[in-house]
Amino acid sequence: MNPRLPFWTLPLALFLLFLLFLLGNGVFFLLQVPWVLLTGWLSFLWETLPAVQADIPQVLTAWLALALLLGGVQFCGSRILASRGGHPETWKLRWSITITATLLLSFTAGISLVGVVHHLAWMTLGKDPVLENSFDKIWDRTHSRRNLKDIGWALLTKADTNNDQLPPAGDLNSLGQPMHSALTKLLPHLRGELPELAAAIDYAKPWNHPDNRSAFVRRVFEFQFRDLALKRQHHTEDGYAVANYAANQRVFAIGQGVALKSISDGTSNTIFFGEVVERPSAWGDPRNVRDPARGINSGSDGFSSPWKTGVHVLMGDGSTRFLSNDIDPKVLQALSTPAGSEIETVSDL
């Protein structure tokens, strides 16, 4: 006879799978909120109690007020009992203590409720709503990681059709003039209507030629941050649609592609693309490259993001990573180079 599992086993398993799915997509608040509620007060007391100094007169006043309240409850209780035909001495002291404790807890709960409502109103309706922005940033970051993965998929597909050769940051014409960006060369390998957009481009003419303007002023949402909640710069001053992702200039050079086999540090240890929010370039511009080694969120020459604490980057194997602002410069340098022989440094990440 096979033992039957408890009825709650399947719901629990489904709930755990749901939590793993959320954690895999960077949604940590469902675990952070109960953890902070359960343990946050302990750290608060640990940090606050050593700095607390008792005011003896106020402490004595509080105890006196509490004793008077208890005495008043005892007196009123016995009088009420006597008025209803009972003997005053049958009123128990523990009844008075229970009523006094209930009054104190009700008063404290009322003050706490007012504080909770006040802070929730501030967090949701203030000038910079914390809760709203938290949810928006979760979906913004998820959308950005998906865009980077799509770019990675297109890059590797492009390399598969070109003898494992990555596209250059920008190709050159016979006169040595930059023509089209790596992102432009990825359009045929992306989903949706982008292959049709690629067919509308005249590759014999530079990206900013008047005949190509109608294509390059069009926003490509796979190359931009989600902006339903947070408004971003959509176009350059010249009217061309921007890209919020730039190539690593140490891997992608203008006029020369790189073979995947030449990346001796390993594609999983090499940055290919990263996020850009500071002075983004047009997605068709062959000069849309940045140097990751310049630092994270430290200027317009490196990668930057609206999350402020770090950036998402696309690695050469198609995976994405989140690099913090305080990443070790040596590790960042190692991740930026395709053949710098710093694999031991990267393992410290």
pLDDT (tens digit per residue) in 174-206: 888 889 999 999 999 998 888 899 999 999 999
What per-residue confidence (pLDDT) applies to 144? Answer: 93
Determine the Cα–Cα distance for residues 193 and 177; give it in Å rounded to an integer.
29
Determine the Cα–Cα distance for residues 140 and 30; give it in Å rounded to an integer.
17
- pLDDT band for 54, please (50, 70, 90 cuts): confident
Determine the Cα–Cα distance for residues 133 and 136; give it in Å rounded to an integer.
5
- Segment 276-280 shows an average pLDDT of 92
- Segment 24-44 shows an average pLDDT of 68
How does the average pLDDT of the chain come out, rounded?
A: 85
What per-residue confidence (pLDDT) applies to 8? Answer: 76
- pLDDT band for 117, please (50, 70, 90 cuts): confident
Name the more confident of 209 and 127. Answer: 209
Buried residues in 12-50 as b, exposed as e (16+ CB within 10 A):
eeeeeeeeeeeeeeebeeeeeeeeeeeeeeeeeeeeeee
What per-residue confidence (pLDDT) applies to 229? Answer: 41
Residue 230 has pLDDT above 50, yes or no: no
Q: Mean pLDDT check: name the lowest of 21-35, 149-163, 172-186, 274-288.
A: 21-35
What per-residue confidence (pLDDT) applies to 131? Answer: 52
Residue 91 has pLDDT above 90, yes or no: no
- Segment 295-321 shows an average pLDDT of 91
Determine the Cα–Cα distance for residues 139 and 29; give it in Å rounded to an integer.
13
Residue 58 has pLDDT above 50, yes or no: yes
pLDDT in tens, 119-140: 767 665 655 555 545 556 778 8
Q: Where are the beta strands (DSSP E) in 161-240?
A: 170-172, 178-181
Determine the Cα–Cα distance for residues 51 and 285; give it in Å rounded to an integer.
58
What per-residue confidence (pLDDT) applies to 331? Answer: 93
